[in-house]
A and B are shown apart, each in its own frame.
Chain A
Amino acid sequence: MFSLGDLYQQVIIDHNKAPRNFGKLEPCTHDAEGYNPLCGDQLHVYLNINDDEIIESISFEGQGCSISTASASLMTDALKGRSVAEFNRLFAAFHHMATADLSDAPDEEVLGKLAVLSGVKEFPSRIKCATLCWHTLKSAIEHAADPAITE
């Protein structure tokens, strides 16, 4: 059985207490709102993507549980300076990690620090907390008109 310690690793506790890249980005080229109707978690992500498709700056604000806050904090840290193509690769890897079989170890080479969130898959009701920010960022990058939801 997974223990609470697998979910609430120290890195997650730290990022929840002191989220990185927290706040509004003005001006920004892309932004989107994400919402988890089950929990009431609300998230807004902001990005500046340059002509070379590089994420020059990125931030988020909103309110949510420790998993959703830490996930957004870790995500923004991981993506600063990366390309949109790399975002797509990380999005797929993160999504796979959060929803894969328990026996399937996370691809730490691709995911790096983000692998600390792999514990969520043992807590099915919390998977959406970890993936909300990624879905929100995807709709920001794709300029989707509707707010992202995790359904």
Chain B
Amino acid sequence: MNVNQIRQDFPILQQQIHGKPLVYLDNAATTQKPQCVIDTVRHYYEADNANIHRGVHTLSERATAAYEDAREIIRAYFNAASTQEVIFTRGTTESINLVASAWGNANVKKGDEILITHMEHHSNIVPWQMLCQRTGASLKVVPMNDAGELRMDLFAKLLSERTKLVGVVHMSNALGTLNPIESIIQQAHAVGAKVLVDGAQAASHVAVDVQALDVDFYATSAHKMYGPTGVGVLIGKQAILAAMPPYQGGGDMILTVSFDKTRYNALPHKFEAGTPNIAGVIGFGAAIKYIQSIGLAAIASHEKGLLDYASVHAGVFDGLTPIGTAANKACVLSFVIKGVHPHDLGTILDREGVAIRAGHHCAMPVMQYYKVPATARASFAMYNTKNEIDALFSALAKARAIFA
């Protein structure tokens, strides 16, 4: 894998910020887009734009074909059994809300339990809280340890026949932890619970085979995988999706409508009411093809090299405390520096051209666990280099000096 060549594919990386080369280390928030994704979206609007699944004219047929081609690309990437299991959404958040509403309302009742973990993103907490409020079910939380790893011993204890669903993040956006989802899914299935995995962070870093995992629902977002914002996917088992009532009503999700009765469309269209983000979906497909052209194994190995290099630097940086030191983690270096608030770090680093995230990362319970209001987070992608990590640490040294 040639990183310099990859960097040439990303036009946004070729710029300076405050007179310094851009060092983009906020990939856990969103990744940059390669030229091929930008060109695909542009080509769609320039040449093929039409509504899908409707017209008999050429443009509509082209748009429909491109949209459905993307569904097949995404099915293959996650090894779903069928394109009927691949539902396009606005992103991971909507995918989870879809399950919490459509599946949850039909299957969860008073006395049931939803089991999530302490390291979930707000998007895998709040929809379940709302479901519990609607139904009288209760929300249980699997604790974690100081390294930011799930307490699997306590997971096993919390799991019971009352557990209707386990919601777990595949890779923590705040800590980088990769969770043992295979074991979680097996144990959950043993008590009859369904499992939803939030794959927003993981899907561009580790291979996901939904059939091998036997996962019931896997949710992710295109924009963290070098694709457009505002589009994502819910992959669900066909039998479960087929039994679920629709999420939203509208066009495209119906077969026939009269004022007496509406017959719903087949999967996956039953869950895609209204005109979707057609350009976004097609761009998502192009992004997946781009990842495949580089190779996920090569990307993961390069990114591991970056994380190891950054972790060594972090270990000898005076005053730095890493937040999240799981044995199995990827691409995220979250930390605090004594005497310098993360927001000040964010501003000072920006003046050095270095973009990081400072804040609670939409994972406030994680911040509460470590008793910090916020952390600074550098997160890596396939186009980052060790030179950029050097730039990060020299900018951190400047920040430390300002507050010395």
Contacts and interface: CB of A to CB of B under 8 A. Distances in A.
Contact of B343 (A13, A17, A129): A129
Contact of A13 (B342, B374, B403): B403
B403 A42 contact: no
B351 interface: yes
B347 A40 contact: no
A40 B367 contact: yes
Contact of B373 (A1, A40, A67): A40
A123 B359 contact: no
A125 B374 CA distance: 16
A39 B374 contact: yes
Interface in B314-354: 339-344, 347-348, 351
B348 A4 contact: yes
Interface string A1-25: 1011001100001001100000000
Contacts, number: 50
Given A8-B402, A13-B402, A38-B359, A66 B373 contact: no
Contacts of B402: 4, 8, 13
B302 interface: no
B344 A40 contact: no
B367 A123 contact: no
B18 A67 contact: no
Give the interface residue-count category, chain A. Answer: 20 to 34
A67 B374 contact: no
B18 A1 contact: yes
A43 B18 CA distance: 32
Contacts of A125: 347
Contacts of A42: 373
A66 B403 contact: yes
A13 B401 CA distance: 11
Nearest to B358: A39
A149 interface: no
Contacts of A7: 347
A126 interface: yes
Nearest to B398: A4
B364 interface: yes
B360 interface: yes
A63 interface: yes
Contacts of B403: 13, 16-17, 66
A147 interface: no
Interface of B: 18, 339-344, 347-348, 351, 358-360, 364, 367, 373-374, 402-403
5 contacts: A8-B344, A39-B343, A40-B360, A40-B367, A67-B343
